[in-house]
Amino acid sequence: METAVKQKPKKTIMQVRKAVERRRLAIQAAFSIITNSYIVGFIRGTIYKGPLKQICVPGMNCYSCPGALGACPIGSLQAVFNQSDWSKGAWTDANGYTVTKPLYYFSFYVVGFLMLIGALCGRLVCAFLCPFGLIQDLLYKIPLPKKLKIKSFKHDKPFRYLKYVLLVVFVIVLPLFYEANPFFCKYICPSGMLLGGIPLMTYGSVFGNIAAGTGTGITSWAEAGGLTVLKLCILAATIILSIITYRPFCKYVCPLGAIYSFFNRISLYRYSVDESKCTNCGACRHACRMGVDITKTPNSPECIRCGDCKAACPHHAICAGFGKIKTSSAADANTGDAA
C-alpha cells in the first residue's frame, strides 16, 4: 500500500528573513515594554523611584522615561564620574541614603556591568534588547522612494569612529573633570528628550504641574530653553536620518554601542562563517544594513548580531551561538577590521 507523504514546502529565503525580523522585533518590543512598565509614571507624569533603579539595563533606556524601571548604563557611568570632585566625608543623598565615600574616580559597578554583558554577548544587545534601537528600526520601516534611502555614503567609515570619540570625551573625560554635568545626556543624547522630556513636559503642560511625585516641578514646556531647542533639533535630525538610513545613531553616535563593540571579537556569543559551504555569493553582504561583510569580519565591531545575514545565506554557511560553532580560520583571523 502506498502512503502519500506530503512534503512541507520549503520556505523561501525572503520568508525566512521576514520571520527572523518579526521574531527580533517581538523580542525587542517585549523587552522594552517589560523594562518600561511603570504604568503609574505615565498616569501621574512622574518617574519610578524604587530600588530597582539601582540596577542597570543593558540598552540605551533613559532613566527619566516615566515607565523606566532600571538605570541607563551611560547615564549611570556619567553620574558616578560626576562625583569624582566631591569633597570627602559622609553625605545624605536625595533618598536619605548615607553615602560615606563619595569619591569615585572609576565606576566599578557600571564598568563591571558593561563588561559582563559585553563578554557574554557583545552587541547582541543592540539588535535585541535596546529600546532606542527598536525605535530606529521602526523609523526605518517608514516607506520612502528607494532613491531616498541611503545604504552608505562616501565617508561612512571614518564617521563610525565618532562614537568612540564621543564616548571618551562626553561620557568619560568631561564628566570626570566637571562635577554634576552629565555631558552626553545634556548635550547629545536624543533618547532622554524622546522618552523623558517630551512625555513629562507635555503631561505637565496639559494637566498642570500635578506631578508632585517628581519632586522637581519641571514638567511643563514653559520651562523650555536653549538646551531644549538644541535637544529637540538633535532628536529631529535623528528621527529624519533614521527614516533615510539604517540606525544612524547606533552607527555613528552611541557610546554604549561603542563599548559593546570592543567585546564583539571576544564575547561568548559569536558569529562564524563555514568556508566549506560559503560560495562567496554576496547575499549576506547585501542583506546587512550595518555595512558589514561577515565573510571578511564575522565579529566586526559594527555587527549588531541581528541575524539578517544568517537568514539571507542560501547555503546555511553562517552560524551563531554561545556553544561550539564551526569557525573559518581565515575569516576569524580578520575580525579586527572596522566593518
Partner 1 sequence: MKTLLNTKLRYILPIALIVIAVGFIAYGVFDKEIYAVLSKATALCRECVGIG
Considering only residues 18 to 47 of the shown chain, the ones binding partner 1 according to CB under 8 A are 47
If one asks whether residue 318 binds partner 1 (CB under 8 A), the answer comes out as no
**292 binds, options partner 1, ligand SF4, none, Cβ within 5 to 8 A by partner type:** ligand SF4
> If binding means CB under 6 A, how many residues of this protein chain bind ligand SF4?
36
Given a contact cutoff of 8 angstroms between Cβ atoms, the answer to whether 57 and 71 are in contact is yes
* 229-258 binders of partner 1 (CB under 8 A): 230-232
Residue whose entry in the numeric block shows the C-alpha cell 538644541: 230
Query: Cα–Cα distance between 130 and 17 in angstroms, integer?
Result: 21
Give me the phi and psi of 302, to 5 degrees please: -85, -10
- The b/e string for 209-237 (b: 16+ C-beta within 10 A; e otherwise) is bebeebeeeebbeeeeeeeeeebbebbee
Among 111, 112, 87, smallest CA distance to 99 is for: 87
- Rg of the chain over Cα atoms, rounded to whole angstroms, equals 22
Of partner 1, ligand SF4, none, which one sits near residue 307, judging by CB under 5 to 8 A according to partner kind?
ligand SF4
Q: Give the C-alpha separation, 238 to 333, whole Å.
A: 35
Q: Fill in the per-residue mask, 120 to 149: x = in contact with ligand SF4 (CB under 6 A), - = not in contact.
A: ------x---x-xx----------------
Residue nearest to ligand SF4 (CB): 257
Each residue 177-196 as x (binds partner 1 by CB under 8 A) or -, in order, gives ----xx--xx--x--xx--x
Q: Which residues pair with 254 in a beta bridge?
A: none
Given the DSSP bridges, would you call strands 91-92 and 98-99 parallel, antiparallel or unpaired?
antiparallel
Say how many residues touch partner 1, by CB under 8 A: 71
Q: Which stretch binds partner 1 (CB under 8 A): 6-14, 197-205, 237-245, 249-257?
A: 197-205
Q: Does 62 bind ligand SF4 (CB under 6 A)?
A: no
Tell me, residue by residue from 235 to 264, as one string, x for binding to ligand SF4 by CB under 6 A and - for no binding.
--------------xx---x-xx-------
Distance CA 64, CA 197 (A): 8
- Which H or E run includes 207? helix 198-207
From the list 56, 57, 60, 62, which residue makes contact with ligand SF4 (rule: CB under 6 A)?
60
Binding site for ligand SF4 (CB under 6 A): 59-60, 126, 130, 132-133, 249-250, 254, 256-257, 273, 278-284, 287-288, 290, 292, 294-295, 303-309, 313, 315, 317-318
